[in-house]
Structure 1
Amino acid sequence: MTSPNLTAIWQQEPLAKFSVYTQVQIQHLWKLANEIKQTLDASVQDGIFYAGKENNLNRVYGDFWLWVLGAYEVVRTMSHYSTCFSESYSAEVVAFKKQIATLRMPFAKLQFQGSDKPINGEASIYSMDTEAKDLSFRIAEKIFSVRPLISEFERITKEVKLEDVLFDLRSAPARES
C-alpha cells in the first residue's frame, strides 16, 4: 500500500513516481531553461543582440549545449523504460527523444548521427531571431530553435498526469519484443 504522503508528492510531481532522481534532473533542466530564456531576454535590445560584458552569446550557447545533453539523457532513460508509462505519454517522450537526438549528436561529439567525420561549422549558431529573442541551429537541413525545444520538453515533463506514470523504473515490466 502506498503512503498518503507519497501519493500527495506524486500528485504534484508525477515523474517522481517513476524516479526521484529523474524528477530532480528535470527540475534542474527547468531551472537551466529559465536561465537560458532570461539571458536571451536580457540580450536583445532594440532589435539587436548584445553580448554584454559576460558574453551572453557564449553563455546561452554553453547553457543550451548542457541543457540538450541533459534533456536527451532524461528522455532516453524514460523511453528505455517505456512500460512505466501510458502508451500515449510514452509516445510523446519517444517523439521528443527522436527530435532532440538529431541535435544531441553534433553537440556531444561534433559529428552527425551515423558518421565518424567531424561536422563543418561544428554545432554553431545558425541564426538569431531578435524579435522572438531566440537562437537557431541547423543540423542536416533541419532547424532547431532554442525556445520551442525548451517549451516542448517543459510541456512533456510538467503536464504529465499521475495516471500516465504506471510503475517505478525499478519495477518496470519487460518490454515486448
Structure 2
Amino acid sequence: MDEKTAQAPTGAPGSVPPAIVVMGVAGCGKSAVGVALAAALGVTFIEGDRLHPPENVARMASGEPLTDELREGWLDAIGERIAASVGKGEGVVAACSALKRSYRDRLSSFCPQIVFLYLEIDPATARRRVGNRKGHFMPASLVDSQFAILEPPAADERALTLDATRPVGEVVAAAVRQMRRS
C-alpha cells in the first residue's frame, strides 16, 4: 500500500489544514497516529473513542456493531469539538473511524476545512492488532463489521490515504510531508 491522495488538501504551501481526522477501521492505528501527528504539529488531539456515549460502548463491548443512528450523536460530539478548536484558531487532530462517506460529510458540516487521513490496512492485520489490545472496549469480532461498511475516501474528498502497516513515525512523516506539499 502506497501513499495516495484523494483530493489534495488546500491551503498555503507549507501549511497544514486546521483540522485533520485520522480515520479507518479498528486496529489501523488512529489513536497512535493521531497523538503523534498532533504532537508533531503542536495542536490539540481529540480521542473520538472517549466521546462515545456509555450505551454505544456497552453495545460494542458485547460484540454488537453500531448502527448509523447510534453513531449520529457521537459524530456530532466529535464535530462540535473540532469546530470549537478551529473556531478558537487552534489546529486539531481527531481520531474517528469515519467509515462511511455520510459520516465524513457529517463531520465536515461542522468544519468544511477538515482533511481526512485514511489509514489503510488489511483485515487480518486489523484483527490481529485489535485482538492484542488490552483494556479497550472494541472486540476483534467487530473488525469484519467495520470492513463491511467501510467506504474508503473517494477522489473528490479532501483525503490522504496512507499505509497503516508502516511504523507510526513513518506514517506521521508521510502525512505531514503530503499535507505541506498541497
What is the TM-score when the length of structure 1 is the normalising length?
A: 0.28
Q: Which has the higher helix share?
A: 1
**Greater RCO structure (CA 8 Å; 6+ sep):** 2
**Largest Rg, 1 or 2:** 1
